[in-house]
Amino acid sequence: MIDQFRKIIVSLLKEKTDLIEDEIDKCIEIPPDSKMGDYAFPCFSLSKTLKKPPNKIASELAEQISPVNPINEIKAIGPYLNFFLDKKIFSEVVLKKISNETDLYGSDAIGTDKTVVIDYSSPNIAKHLAVHHLRSALIGNALYNIYKELGYKCVGINHLGDWGTQFGQLIVAYRKWGEKNLEKYTITDLNKLYVKFHQEAEKDIHLEDEAREWFKKLENGDGEAIALWKRFKDISLLEFQRVYKMLGIQFDAFVGESFYNTMVDDTVLRIQKKGLSCISEQALIIDLERYNMPPCLLRKKDDTTLYATRDIAAAEYRSAEYHFDKMIYVVGSEQKLHFNQVFKVLELMGYDWANNCVHVDFGLMKFKEGRMSTRKGMVVLLEDLLIEAVERIKKIIEEKNPSLKDKEIVANDVGIGAVIFADLSTKRNKDVIFDWDTVLNFEGETGPYVQYTHARLCSILRKYGKAVTSNIDFALLKEDDAINLIKVLWQYPFVLLKSAQFYEPSLISNYLIDVCAKVNKFYNSHRVLSEDDDLTKARILMVNAARQIIKNGLKILGMHAPTEM
RNA sequence: GCGCCAGUAGCUCAGCUGGAUAGAGCAUCGGAUUUCUAAUCCGGCGGCCGAGGGUUCGAAUCCUUCCUGGCGCGCCA
């Protein structure tokens, strides 16, 4: 989507300068204070070619360019040429567009006929989902929604960590110390075995070898190994699905690493035929020294495959299966090198689509005391956090709005939403310290704040009780508080585009805070419902537009927007 | 040692594809509710934007050196 107001300014400037449209468009900015105008064109860059001071250029341009509808004033302020929109026309364009497009406001067609594969969440099976698994799942889910909104066909893949030496470890632990009634096992039981293995392995170095042997059996299709592994996987999936359901996260495919087991031999063979690999210290590797990277390991000395091998095979498979235009891996930044290696190998294999693979990395979540570790039991289970969030919200509802109907549903929406919003509101590449009171803070720049604002707007509309009309006198929306709100509403589609461009959902959560701050400012100083019918109608239209944007934005983040709370 | 990421108010962060006086929230102090939900709003306090050097008309933003913290660097994922 293009900003039609911006476009008009570009065309006006194009007539009076020698610059091309793109250059002008890049320069145009939104002034820090709306008193200075709605759009501004800095004249510094022109001063070189024109050999005149920028202030002079600005004032000359201001004289030369006469304002045309919807611009009603062009004024030089220092070295800037500032454009003032006709507020009436601006409000009309914005509010009518939102009013017409409703749930589709913000959507775009740039992704039509393009496919994006998004690999997110991708936890290891046989371990609980813990809070540090949140980030990949939530960022991935949000990116899925963002790209879908922009017209892309999205394929969400949960690339389960269901293969690897760790399952050899688990099988060993189960056979040595496990209760034999596998039907009754939960993830907690598997987790205990996993922890036990690592405790014992510190005392007995042979255990690791034994585990590697069992993994080899697994890769070779040994009956007992496969049966155990399959059961471990079923137990895990059952519990994962429960938590995903709580979070409202879905996938198009649950395809784990094991799925590619039958393909890796072929993949490795082709790599070898291309002469990309060599043997080093008994392992099969691809030397990447030329590219300033450590080697990529394909096969261990016992011939079994590694994570990278399976990722390469998986990428090939996905390319053939989905013909993607872009493939996004939402995986922690500690795996940056791994993905750089994998992408480089794909490129060396001759795949031009290797350039369309992106590692969307994010910072580590840890405790004040240090790293989270399943092995050491240093985790907060995701499910526990979600339950606690909902419980705390229930208490607040009893305090503030005890007569609320559907308390359970609202508490769920708000509690889970608070956790989602908290996670998505900082830029993804920052490390985060997990702290109960931070995640479960419900005041200020939080999910509940956004949802609360939405609920209040809904409340006004309920009280109004009549149909919203866009047949209003737009001149009545004249207060700065109103105009500032409408201006920020106009930005939503561009924020969405930017969040896709940078793979950054936090742009949307921060934007929503901005919208809510402006809504609340208006709300606190102006009445919406009043004796003045025309004014009420006008403000209702604006309120409804703000409500719509908050709802659309929350949906992108994977949150519900309760109409009452 | 090498590589990647981060360092902005007491705390958590936004601003970083160079632009007008560095913005929020939390905390703290004070104020706003006979009227649309006070999970809100308004005001006060609070900053050598990690340090130095450079590029530029202009640097929190770009380059460079250094400091601090996190992560990664061959048989885990």
Q: A513 CA to B69 C1', in Å?
A: 29
Q: Per residue, what are the HEC states of A225-251?
A: HHHHHHHHHHHHHHHHHHHHHHHCCCC
Q: Which residue is nearest to nucleotide B18 (CA to C1')?
A: A27
Report the distance from CA of residue A179 to the C1' of nucleotide B52 in Å, as an integer.
Answer: 64
Domain ranges of chain A: 4-85, 115-266+301-371
pLDDT above 90: residue A52: no
Q: Which nucleotides of B are covered by protein (CB under 7 A)?
A: 3-6, 12-17, 19-21, 23-27, 32, 35-42, 57-58, 70-77
- Give mean pLDDT, residues A406-430: 97
Q: Which residue is nearest nucleotide B70, judged by alpha carbon to C1' distance? A: A431
From residue A507, alpha-carbon distances to A29, A165, A406, A450, A519 in Å are 18, 39, 31, 14, 18
Distance of C1' in B3 from CA in A337, Å: 9
Q: What is the pLDDT of residue A460?
A: 98
Q: What is the pLDDT of residues A508-541, one digit of tens each?
A: 999 999 999 999 999 999 999 999 999 999 999 9
Does pLDDT of A48 surpass 90?
no
DSSP 8-class letter at A180: S
- CA atom of A298 to C1′ atom of B71, Å: 23
Lowest mean pLDDT: which of A25-39, A265-279, A286-300?
A25-39
Closest nt to residue A501, judged CA to C1': B17
CA-to-C1' span, A292 to B1 (A): 15
- pLDDT at position A51 is 83
Q: With 90 as the cut, is the pLDDT of residue A373 above it?
A: no
Q: Kindly state the tokens that stand for A294.
A: 């450590």
* Nucleotide nearest A447, from its CA to each C1': B39
Mean local confidence (pLDDT), A227-254: 96
pLDDT for residue A377 is more than 90: no
CATH topology of domain A4-85: Gyrase A; domain 2 (3.30.1360)
- A389 CA to B14 C1', in Å? 25
Q: Binning pLDDT at 50, 70 and 90, where does residue A374 land?
A: confident
Which nucleotide does the CA of A160 lie closest to, via C1'? B77
Q: Is residue A447 within 8 Å of residue A414, measured between CB atoms?
A: yes
pLDDT of residue A495: 97
Provide the CATH topology of domain A115-266+301-371: Rossmann fold (3.40.50)
Q: Mean pLDDT, to the nearest integer, of A138-151?
A: 98
Per-residue pLDDT, averaged over A13-34, amounts to 88
> Residue A409: which of A425, A397, A424 has the closest Cα?
A397
For B69, nearest residue by CA–C1' is A431
Q: Cα Rg for chain A, rounded, in angstroms? A: 28
Strand order in the sheet with A357-360: A253-254, A153-158, A115-119, A326-330, A357-360
Q: Dihedral sign, CA of A186, A188, A190, A193?
A: negative
* C1'-nearest nucleotide to the CA of A481: B41
Alpha-carbon separation of residue A107 from A2, A149, A179, A297, A450 (angstroms) = 12, 5, 53, 43, 21
Over residues A427-447, the mean pLDDT reads 94
In this complex, the residue with its CA at the shortest distance from the C1' of nucleotide B22 is: A32
d(CA A220, CA A226): 9
pLDDT digits (tens, 9 = 90+) for A301-330: 999 999 999 999 999 999 999 999 999 999
Name the closest nucleotide to A309, judged by C1' and CA.
B77
A359 or A370: which leads in pLDDT: A359
Could you give the CA distance from residue A551 to residue A85 in angstroms, rounded to a whole number? Answer: 27
Nearest nucleotide to A331, CA against C1' atoms:
B77
In this predicted complex, what is the ipTM?
0.97
Cβ atoms of residues A499 and A505 within 8 Å: yes
Average pLDDT value for residue range A337-342: 98
> Nearest nucleotide by C1' from A161 CA?
B77
pLDDT digits (tens, 9 = 90+) for A160-211: 999 988 899 999 999 999 988 888 899 999 999 988 998 898 888 899 999 9
Residue at minimum CA to C1' distance from nucleotide B26: A444
Kind of pairing between the strands at A277-280 and A365-367:
unpaired
Interatomic separation, CA of residue A44 and C1' of nucleotide B60, rounded (Å): 21
Asked if residue A47 has pLDDT above 90, the reply is no
